[in-house]
Amino acid sequence: MIKVTLKDGSVRQVPAGTTIREVASSISQGLARAAVAAKVNGRVEDLNTALQEDAQLEILTLDSEDGLAVMRHSTSHLLAQAVQNLFPGTILGIGPAIANGFYYDFDSEHTFTPEDLEKLEAEMKRLAKQDYKFERGEMAREQAIEYFQQRGEKYKVELINDLPEDAQISIYTQGNFTDLCAGPHVQSTKMLKAFKLQSVAGAYWRGSEKNKMLQRIYGLAFAKASDLQDYLYKLEEAKRRDHRKLGMELDLFSLHDEAPGFPFYHPKGMVLRNTLEEFWREEHQKRDYVEIRTPIILNRSLWEQSGHWDHYKDNMYFTKIDEQDFAVKPMNCPGGMLMYKTKIRSYRDLPIRCGELGLVHRHELSGALHGLLRVRSFTQDDAHIFMLPSQIIEEIIAIIDLIDYFYKVFGFEYHVELSTRPEDSMGSDEDWETATNALKEALATKGIEYKINPGDGAFYGPKIDFHVKDCLDRTWQCGTIQLDFQMPEKFDLTYIGEDGEKHRPVMIHRVVYGSLERFIALLIEHYAGAFPVWLSPIQVRVLPISDRHNEYAERVKAILKEENIRVELDQRREKINYKIREAQTEKIPFALVVGDKEMEAESVSVRRYGEQKTTIMDLKDFIFLIKTEIDTKSISSKTV
């Protein structure tokens, strides 16, 4: 007999060799029916697995993320089966579970069309009903290679060859379909119900552009049909929040064929942008930053000196001036270096925190452009901090705090990643290790959890990245803190120490917003275009009911303007309903209706964005209300 400890702490005695399914049945038939897999000592296993020794056991159902992942993975096998039935000769890539569903990569002469997806989905439904069991088999390495080779599954053979020598090679079979797979899987295809094929896209084999591009079919899969419907509805909702759509509707910015990736800011977008810059300057002044501005075009020798010519050329734009090579800056740092070198620095001057709202240009691949989230020219809210080695940790922590403070003001959730040395980089291993450890230490001090991104650092140093989600849950890097021992070296930066000798300062590159463009895009999606009052391009619109209220309305407008409130007056001869509807459509935080009653009492009828109810209040009370919200940067709960 062995002891099986369940999730609730209870212990069951069962004979060795009992399968997990049998244990589940002994707990309840309902559980046995709902079970898709199980966690044995933390490892996800099939229900068919026989328990041989004492174990911690957690039965997984579709109520858990782990359970859903198993089901989604099984659904990807179902797709592969359907594809090979309908398009014989298709070679298989890989087919994992992902958030909300799964994908499977295929190599086929045939190009899959949206109509094919419908047919495949129908075939999947048909196959699912057949109640095929997912049966696990194990093969010796040589046998497995031969098996897949014979079937022309060259990618599977490659995968097997790359498995460690001692790896257990397992295969899963459902009906006429067999796939190389570590598993686990649900018991039967019958458990696969709420799925939908979504799209087909190109994807390089093993994610490398050096490899062949395969066709990736994406699908959604959920525990039940209503969950799938809910998710589809959520996707529709997300489209409404899309910053590209809202940016145009709210007249914030535009993009044109004539300038791909180079955004145009409209007047309202500029108000938003200027407000963000203003806030940025205030907060940085408080923290003893100074601000500079460096040129956009600098000559070739500078970029050679900085290493950009060697490591960043593909992303840069070039021009010639008087027969000499120049480059448009893709980063602000070299300019900052020259500024540092304009005089002798003392250790007493350090740290120098030198900010720059710098406009940079980078050549991004045409297929990568995406609204304001991925552009070819953008303004970084940059700063370069020159400091003593002993100040590193303290400075990094201060920046982490600063970024956290900013993101909290906007209500952003974020996660943190640490990116380490990339292949194409400069400097010694020792410097990189020191720098990486400093970043780790700062994160540890703050108790921040982070994910490591191996090889994703800048060419001159490792970095801490702050990621924010867009409306479709894709994450975008915004803030970043990069520790750099290389630039000071390349530019021979020095300071005079206590000992009267020259020493090498250390440098940090950091941004808080990341780029104004990306940050604005994320703000639009985060608030669904209904900005908090302090950010809103128009804060108040005054709506007179008829012509005879125009004069009072103009007075209200003038008084609000005097208080530095961004106010508009809608004097058109339209019905009040019409004007209100428009103010709502434009997501203006406050609509002030003024008619006879208000005119008489020196009051306004206040209607907030997204609310039905109106409140009549004295104009001076309204001013107090709105100014308080602006000053506290209050985030309205209505982002509908």
Partner RNA sequence: GCCGAUGUGGCUCAGGGGUAGAGCAGCUCACUCGUAAUGAGCAGGUCGCCGGUUCGAAUCCGGCCAUCGGCUCCA
Q: Which residues are catalytic?
A: 333, 362, 380, 382, 384, 463, 509
- Using CB under 7 A as the binding rule, whether residue 422 contacts RNA is answered as yes
Residue 261: alpha-carbon gap to chain centroid: 19
User: Do 371 and 521 contact (CB within 8 A), yes or no?
Assistant: yes
- Using CB under 7 A as the binding rule, whether residue 437 contacts RNA is answered as no
- Using CB under 7 A as the binding rule, whether residue 306 contacts RNA is answered as no
- Using CB under 7 A as the binding rule, whether residue 375 contacts RNA is answered as yes
Residue with smaller CB distance to RNA, 21 or 241: 241
Residue with smaller CB distance to RNA, 44 or 439: 439
Using CB under 7 A as the binding rule, the residues of this chain from 440 to 459 that contact RNA are 456, 458
Residue with smaller CB distance to RNA, 136 or 541: 541
- Using CB under 7 A as the binding rule, whether residue 368 contacts RNA is answered as yes
Number of residues that bind RNA (CB under 7 A): 77
Least Å distance between CB 353 and RNA? 19
Backbone angle region of 12, left / alpha / beta, with phi > 0 → left and psi within -120 to 50 → alpha: beta
Distances (CA, A) of 599 to 107, 282, 418, 619, 625: 73, 39, 60, 10, 20
- What is the rounded CA–CA span in Å between residue 133 and residue 78? 11
- Using CB under 7 A as the binding rule, whether residue 526 contacts RNA is answered as no
- Using CB under 7 A as the binding rule, whether residue 261 contacts RNA is answered as yes
- Using CB under 7 A as the binding rule, whether residue 255 contacts RNA is answered as yes
| CB within 8 Å of 333: residues ≥ 6 apart | 306, 382, 384, 484, 487, 507, 509
Residue with smaller CB distance to RNA, 375 or 493: 375
Q: Strand pairing partners for 251?
A: none
Q: Does the N-terminal peptide bond of residue 422 adopt cis geometry, omega within 30 degrees of 0?
A: no
- Using CB under 7 A as the binding rule, whether residue 598 contacts RNA is answered as yes
Least Å distance between CB 317 and RNA? 13
Q: Which of 357, 351, 441, 453 is nearest to 395 (CA)?
A: 351
- Using CB under 7 A as the binding rule, whether residue 575 contacts RNA is answered as yes
* CB neighbour burial string for 598-621, b if at least 16 within 10 angstroms, e if fewer: bbeeebbbbbbbeeeeeeebebee
Least Å distance between CB 193 and RNA? 24
- Using CB under 7 A as the binding rule, whether residue 546 contacts RNA is answered as yes
**Pair type for strands 475-484 and 463-469:** antiparallel
Residue with smaller CB distance to RNA, 46 or 242: 242
- What is the rounded CA–CA span in Å between residue 142 and residue 165? 11
- Using CB under 7 A as the binding rule, whether residue 122 contacts RNA is answered as no
- Using CB under 7 A as the binding rule, whether residue 89 contacts RNA is answered as no
- Using CB under 7 A as the binding rule, whether residue 380 contacts RNA is answered as yes
- Using CB under 7 A as the binding rule, whether residue 607 contacts RNA is answered as yes
> What number of CA atoms fall less than 13 Å from residue 42's CA on the CB side?
0
- End-to-end CA separation in angstroms for the chain: 59
Residue with smaller CB distance to RNA, 46 or 404: 404
- Using CB under 7 A as the binding rule, whether residue 435 contacts RNA is answered as no
Backbone angle region of 346, left / alpha / beta, with phi > 0 → left and psi within -120 to 50 → alpha: beta
Using CB under 7 A as the binding rule, the residues of this chain from 99 to 118 that contact RNA are 111, 113-114
Of 75, 306, 420, 480, the one binding RNA by CB under 7 A: 480
Of 6, 27, 139, 248, the one binding RNA by CB under 7 A: 248
Residue with smaller CB distance to RNA, 127 or 567: 567
Residue with tokens 């180079």: 262
Residue with smaller CB distance to RNA, 345 or 463: 463
Of 614, 627, 633, 636, the one binding RNA by CB under 7 A: 614
- Using CB under 7 A as the binding rule, whether residue 639 contacts RNA is answered as no
Using CB under 7 A as the binding rule, the residues of this chain from 333 to 352 that contact RNA are none
Using CB under 7 A as the binding rule, the residues of this chain from 457 to 476 that contact RNA are 458, 465, 472, 474, 476
- What is the rounded CA–CA span in Å between residue 533 and residue 632? 10
Give the H/E segment covering residue 86. helix 65-86
User: Do 411 and 635 contact (CB within 8 A), yes or no?
Assistant: yes
Residue type at position 50: A
- Using CB under 7 A as the binding rule, whether residue 378 contacts RNA is answered as yes
Residue with smaller CB distance to RNA, 62 or 522: 522
Q: Is 456 helix (H, G, I), strand (E, B) or coil?
A: coil
Q: Which stretch binds RNA (CB under 7 A): 1-9, 43-51, 373-381, 628-636?
A: 373-381
Q: Which of 638, 325, 354 is nearest to 507 (CA)?
A: 354
User: Do 24 and 59 contact (CB within 8 A), yes or no?
Assistant: yes
Residue with smaller CB distance to RNA, 193 or 557: 557
- Using CB under 7 A as the binding rule, whether residue 477 contacts RNA is answered as yes
Least Å distance between CB 35 and RNA? 31
Give the H/E segment covering residue 147. helix 141-150
- Using CB under 7 A as the binding rule, whether residue 252 contacts RNA is answered as no
- Using CB under 7 A as the binding rule, whether residue 209 contacts RNA is answered as yes
Using CB under 7 A as the binding rule, the residues of this chain from 212 to 231 that contact RNA are 213, 215-216
- Using CB under 7 A as the binding rule, whether residue 318 contacts RNA is answered as no
Q: Which stretch binds RNA (CB under 7 A): 129-137, 162-170, 339-347, 360-368?
A: 360-368
Q: Is 129 helix (H, G, I), strand (E, B) or coil?
A: helix
Residue with smaller CB distance to RNA, 128 or 542: 542
Distances (CA, A) of 431 to 350, 435, 483: 21, 6, 10
CA-CA-CA-CA dihedral for 586, 589, 591, 592, to nearest 10:
-150
Q: Which stretch binds RNA (CB under 7 A): 270-278, 347-355, 531-539, 590-598?
A: 590-598
- What is the rounded CA–CA span in Å between residue 614 and residue 6? 56
Residue 177: alpha-carbon gap to chain centroid: 37
Of 264, 405, 578, 624, the one binding RNA by CB under 7 A: 578
- Using CB under 7 A as the binding rule, whether residue 202 contacts RNA is answered as yes
User: Do 465 and 477 contact (CB within 8 A), yes or no?
Assistant: yes
Least Å distance between CB 364 and RNA? 5
